[in-house]
């Protein structure tokens, strides 16, 4: 019997960790039931390289934006630049963008400006926003709410590991929370409880590969195939069998990343 299909909603296949191995990575993912993945560009000047990976592999889609930790080092993106990228059929989301005050709090102002520009591009394209948030819960909740009040958009809180308050704020706006390998770590009981309190129809799964490999691969290079290990923990969190959780999170992905869903149906 084939494995249930799931989606790695966030990985970084352009990173040096995967150089020259993309075909093998995609094949191993398929063997684990991971039939699609979204590879994320974190610096817009690298977009052509990320796009090329998506073009070369049918299961791979891509998104692009300026990572908050790079916001002070890269030219500030314009909404027009981000909107123009959306002409590509496999460009399915905007980001990752967001706020990171853990390592780069000194650039908070430019991070916030960059975030608002990405949100404007989401409004104009209808594509979902991909958010990175670390140690910035209060500002993140405020900006997401302010911007949503100014004009609706869709969003996933990628690799969610923030507090219950930000989770609730995001869910109240209709946004999604994505489970990474962090949710599978033994010490992450409080985080699993935050996920368990959320509606299962707002949950995605991801690797953030090459980072944050779930057990039993913790401490090693992560890759899209390992989405299955996080998803098995997710199924336990929600009291579902694995096949049901895989089906629910895949349906959630298709609802949020509707452009990727349309490509899959057309293929």
What is the pLDDT confidence band of residue 267, given thresholds at 50, 70 and 90? low
Percent pLDDT > 90 in the chain is 97
Which tens digits make up the pLDDT trace of 24-57? 999 999 999 999 999 999 999 999 999 999 999 9
pLDDT averaged over every residue in the chain: 97
Least confident stretch, 125-134, 144-153, 255-264: 255-264
**CB-CB contact of 205 with 178 (8 Å):** yes
Give the burial class of 107: count Cβ atoms within 10 A of its Cβ; 0-12 exposed, 13-18 middle, 19 or more buried: buried
Distances in whole angstroms, Cα of residue 22 to Cα of each of 16, 53, 55, 147, 166: 11, 8, 12, 37, 35
Q: Determine the average pLDDT of the residues in 97-103.
A: 97
Q: What pLDDT is recorded for position 2? A: 78
Query: Are residues 107 and 114 in contact, defined by beta-carbon separation less than 8 angstroms?
Result: no
Question: What is the pLDDT at residue 263?
Answer: 87
Instruction: Indicate yes or no: pTM above 0.85.
Output: yes
In the chain, the percentage of residues whose pLDDT exceeds 70 is 99
Contact 41, 13 (CB under 8 A): no
Q: Which residue ranges form the domains of the chain, and what is each CATH number?
A: 6-266 (3.20.20.140)
Instruction: Give the number of C-alpha atoms closer than 13 A to the C-alpha of residue 78, restricted to the C-beta side.
Output: 3
The pLDDT of residue 1 is: 67
Please write the tens of the pLDDT for every residue from 149-190.
999 999 999 999 999 999 999 999 999 999 999 999 999 999
Half-sphere exposure of 170 (CA within 13 A, CB side): 33
Q: How confident is the model at residue 266 (pLDDT cuts 50, 70, 90)?
A: confident
Count of all residues that appear for the chain in the document = 267
């Amino acid at each position: 019997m084939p494995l249930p299909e799931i989606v790695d909603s966030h990985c970084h296949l352009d990173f040096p960790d995967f150089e020259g191995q993309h075909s093998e990575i995609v094949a191993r993912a398929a063997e684990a039931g991971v039939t699609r993945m979204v590879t994320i560009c974190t610096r817009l000047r690298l977009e052509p390289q990320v796009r090329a990976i998506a073009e070369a592999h049918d299961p791979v889609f891509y998104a692009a934006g300026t990572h908050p930790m790079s916001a002070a080092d890269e030219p500030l993106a314009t909404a027009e630049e981000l909107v123009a990228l959306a002409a590509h059929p496999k460009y399915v989301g905007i980001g990752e963008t967001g706020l990171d005050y853990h390592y780069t709090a000194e650039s908070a102002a430019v991070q916030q400006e960059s975030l608002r520009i990405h949100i404007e591009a989401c409004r104009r394209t209808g594509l979902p926003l991909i958010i990175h948030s670390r140690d910035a819960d209060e500002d993140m909740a405020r900006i997401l709410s302010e911007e949503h009040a100014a004009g609706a958009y869709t969003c996933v809180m990628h690799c969610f590991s923030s507090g219950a308050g930000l989770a609730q704020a995001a869910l109240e706006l209709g946004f999604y929370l994505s489970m990474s390998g962090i949710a599978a770590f033994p010490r992450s009981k409080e985080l699993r409880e935050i996920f368990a309190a959320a509606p299962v129809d707002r949950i995605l799964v991801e690797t953030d590969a090459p980072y944050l490999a779930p057990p039993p691969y913790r401490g090693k290079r992560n890759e899209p195939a390992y989405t299955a290990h996080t998803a098995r923990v997710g199924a336990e969190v929600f009291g579902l069998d694995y096949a049901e959780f895989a089906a629910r999170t895949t349906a959630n992905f298709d609802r949020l990343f509707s452009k990727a869903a349309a490509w899959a149906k057309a293929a």
